[in-house]
Copies of this chain bind each other. A is one copy, B any other.
Amino acid sequence: MKEGTFELPGNCRLTSDYDVLQWDVREGCEVRQILDRIADKWSLLVIALLDKRTMRFAELLRSIKGVSKRMLTTTLRQLERDGIVERTVYPTVPPKVEYNLTPLGNSLHETVKALVIWTEANQVKIAEARDRYETRQSEGL
């Protein structure tokens, strides 16, 4: 294996050496999957809402403007599968299903919050960088 080349190992667990990041952010890896979960269209919104309190399906559906039943279901199932969200079914008629964050979910929310705060702190720099980029483009250079 060439030095510095990304290969595709079957096992992509992270080790304690951060530098291994470069081998482990690809498809199918833990980091990749968590990142995909965090960055997808609705997950973060769901996590942010559930961080405050337990909510029911229809309540989430109403709270997150623009989400469809299908996507909310998909999002919640993925979060449940990863142990971020807990799903509680009350076998009543009509059915009642509650969602809440697990301790793991709360912990993830804390970490993600740091990234959101970074973005908040740097949004002006990013906006300025974009302006400079656009200016350079329109100057044809």
State the CA gap A21–B64 with chains docked (Å). 13
A-B pairs, top 5 by smallest CB distance, nearest first, are A83-B129, A39-B39, A14-B120, A6-B65, A111-B118
In the complex, what distance in Å separates the CA atom of A132 from the CA atom of B104? 15
- A72 contacts the other chain (Cβ, under 8 Å)? no
| This protein's copies in its complex | 2
Asked if A115 and B116 make an inter-chain contact with CB atoms under 8 angstroms apart, the answer reads no
Chain B residues, CB < 8 A from A80: 133
Closest residue of chain B to A2 (Cβ to Cβ) is: B62
Contact with B along A47-72 (1 / 0, CB 8 A): 01100000000000011111000000
Residues of A in contact with B (beta carbons under 8 Å apart) = 4-8, 13-14, 16, 18, 21-22, 25-27, 30-31, 34-36, 38-41, 44-45, 48-49, 62-66, 80-83, 104, 107-108, 111-120, 122-123, 125-130, 132-133
Contact with A22, one of B26, B49, B119, B123 (Cβ below 8 angstroms): B49
* B120 and A16 within 8 A (CB): yes
- The chain B residue with its CB closest to the CB of A45 is B25
Query: In chain B, what residue has the closest Cβ to A77?
Result: B133
Q: Per a CB cutoff under 8 Å, which of B22, B49, B83 touches A125? A: B83
Given pairs A5-B63, A114-B115, 16 additional interface contacts (CB within 8 A): A6-B65, A8-B65, A8-B66, A14-B116, A26-B66, A27-B41, A39-B39, A81-B130, A82-B129, A82-B130, A83-B126, A83-B130, A83-B132, A104-B129, A107-B122, A112-B115
